[in-house]
Structure 1
Amino acid sequence: MSSRFAAAAPAGVAVCCALLSAVVHLVIAPEHLAETLYIGILFIAGSVALLLTAGALALWNSVTAWWAGALVSGGMILGFVLSRTIGLPGYHEQGWDPPYGVLSIIAEGMFLVAFFAWYGTRSAHAPSAPFRSKVPAGR
C-alpha cells in the first residue's frame, strides 16, 4: 500500500461518515424542532458543521476540519447517550431509535476511528525538533 493511499484512506472514510451523519440529522431535524426546539437546532447546527467538515477534508485534508469533525461527532455520541440515560433538559428518549439512531452512532463512531487513524499516522510522521547543542555562543 502506498503512503499516499494510507494518508488518504482515513480522510475518505471521515468524509463519508460526516456526510452520512449530517444527512441523518437533517432528515430527523424537523421532527425534533417540533418536539424540542433546541434539540432540532442542535441537529441542524451539527449537520452544517459536519457538511463543512466533509468539504474541508475532501478539499484540503485540514487539521482544523479533523478536530472539528471529531468534536462534533463525539458531542453527538455524548448527546445520544445522555438523552437515553439521564436525559437532557426537557428531552428524554427511549431506545436506539432505529434506523436513524443506529446509523448516526455508526457514522460518528467510524469518524472517530478515522480521526484516531489519521492522528496516529500524523504524529508518527511528525518531524522531531532539531538537536541543538548547549555550547555557549562565542566558543
Structure 2
Amino acid sequence: MEETIKAFTLWLAVGTEAAAALIIGLATVEAVLSALLLFLPDAASRIVGEGPQAAKEQVRLKLGRWLAVALEFELGADILRTAVAPTWSEIGQLAAIAAIRTILNYFLQQEIDKAERRPLGSGSAGPVSDPR
C-alpha cells in the first residue's frame, strides 16, 4: 500500500510538471504571436489603445503572469516529490530547487506588481514629466 501511494504521488508530481510545461509553452506561443502582431501598422494602438511601449508592456506582463502560474505548479510538484523523497540528499536537492523557484516567483511577482502600478504608456524609461 505504501509503495502504491509513493508511486501515485510521483505520478502526480510528473503530471503537475507536465501542466507547468504546457502553461509555459502556450504562454510563450501567445506572447510570440502578440509580439509579432505589434509589427503590423497601428497594431499597438488597436490592442491597448496606447502607444507601442504600452502594448509591449502588456505582452510582457501577460507572459510574466503565466510564468508565475507555471512556477507555482513547479513548486507544487517539488512539494509532492519531497513527500516521498527517501534520502536526505534528495530532500536537500528538492529543497534547494523549491527555494530557487520560490525566489524566482517572488521577484517575478514584484516586477508584475510594480509594472501594474505604473500608468499605461509610461513604460519603464523612468518618470513621466508633468505636462502642466
The bucket for the TM-score relative to the shorter chain is: 0.3 to 0.5
TM-score by length of 1: 0.43
